[in-house]
């Protein structure tokens, strides 16, 4: 019988990936995610018939050089500020998780919820790529929507975002957990 760690290590090397990852060991960081010794965080596999697919989501490594550093400040619901050091290429949702900032991310950045909803300081909003149609549709469902609302899972850090300030809304809604059933139009 193959061990759970070996099973996930095998899945990480599936042919769908552009880069092959050969982990030495695997440990679970929180439900739905695993961390391999190389510092790569991956999602659990999704099976569709006989086809396996998986994708590498995030590196849990510190910046290698100061050139990679992007300083971000999270403003929590109580108004307190949490300054963190991210790096170019970091996903804002996973950066928040890494530094203990309370941003749920129920769908694990699969663009299926609004629990990573944030307000982006106006100075930085225009530096972000335009939200795609799916993100816009989801934002329409987010409570406390504002002009500068974005989903944290869709923000990838670049050097242009140095000093980024994002504010967490007073509440988010996890439709599955909250028991909400959307009605057809």
The mean pLDDT of 123-133, rounded to a whole number, is: 96
Higher pLDDT, 143 or 22: 143
Over residues 119-145, mean pLDDT? 95
pLDDT digits (tens, 9 = 90+) for 143-183: 999 999 999 999 999 999 999 999 999 988 775 555 555 45
What pLDDT score does 108 carry?
A: 86
pLDDT in tens, 48-100: 333 334 333 445 677 788 889 999 999 999 999 999 999 999 999 999 999 99
Which residue matches tokens 């995030």? 58
Length of the chain: 185
pLDDT score of 161: 98
| pLDDT digits 0-9 by tens, 103-120 | 988 888 889 999 999 999
Q: What is the pLDDT of residue 10?
A: 37
Higher pLDDT, 105 or 35: 105
pLDDT at 64: 80
Of 17, 152, 35, 43, residue with least CA distance to 91: 152
Q: Which residues contact 7 (CB under 8 A, 6 or more apart)?
A: none
Asked if pLDDT for residue 33 goes beyond 80, the answer is no
Contact 70, 164 (CB under 8 A): yes
67 versus 135: the higher-pLDDT residue is: 135
pLDDT band (50, 70, 90) for residue 26: very low
Residue 5 has pLDDT above 50, yes or no: no
The DSSP string of the chain is ---HHHHHHHHHT-TT-SS----S-EEEEETTEEEETTSEEEEPPEEETTEEE--EEEE----SSGGGEEEEEEE-TTS-EEEEEEETT-BHHHHHHHTT-----TTTTSS---TTEEEE-HHHHTTSPPP-HHHHHHHTTSTT--TTEEEGGG-B--GGGTTEEEE--S----HHHHT--PPP-
Q: What would the two tokens of residue 66 be? A: 């100061």
Query: Is the per-residue pLDDT at 41 higher than 90?
Result: no
């Amino acid at each position: 019988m193959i061990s759970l760690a070996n099973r996930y290590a095998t899945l990480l090397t599936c042919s769908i990936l552009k880069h092959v990852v050969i982990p030495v060991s695997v440990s679970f960081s929180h439900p739905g995610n695993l961390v391999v010794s190389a510092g790569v965080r991956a999602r659990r596999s999704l099976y569709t018939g006989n086809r396996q697919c998986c994708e590498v989501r995030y590196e849990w490594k510190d910046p290698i050089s100061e050139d990679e550093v992007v300083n971000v400040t999270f403003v929590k619901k109580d108004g307190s500020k949490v300054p963190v050091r991210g790096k170019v290429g970091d996903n804002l949702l996973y950066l928040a998780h890494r530094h203990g900032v309370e941003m749920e991310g129920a769908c694990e950045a699969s663009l299926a919820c609004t629990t990573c909803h944030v307000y982006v300081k106006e100075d930085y909003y225009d530096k972000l790529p335009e939200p795609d149609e799916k993100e816009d549709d989801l934002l329409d469902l987010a409570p406390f929507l504002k002009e500068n609302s974005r989903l944290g899972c869709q923000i990838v850090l670049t050097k242009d975002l140095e000093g980024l300030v994002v504010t967490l809304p007073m509440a988010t809604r996890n439709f599955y957990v909250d028991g909400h059933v959307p009605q057809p139009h």
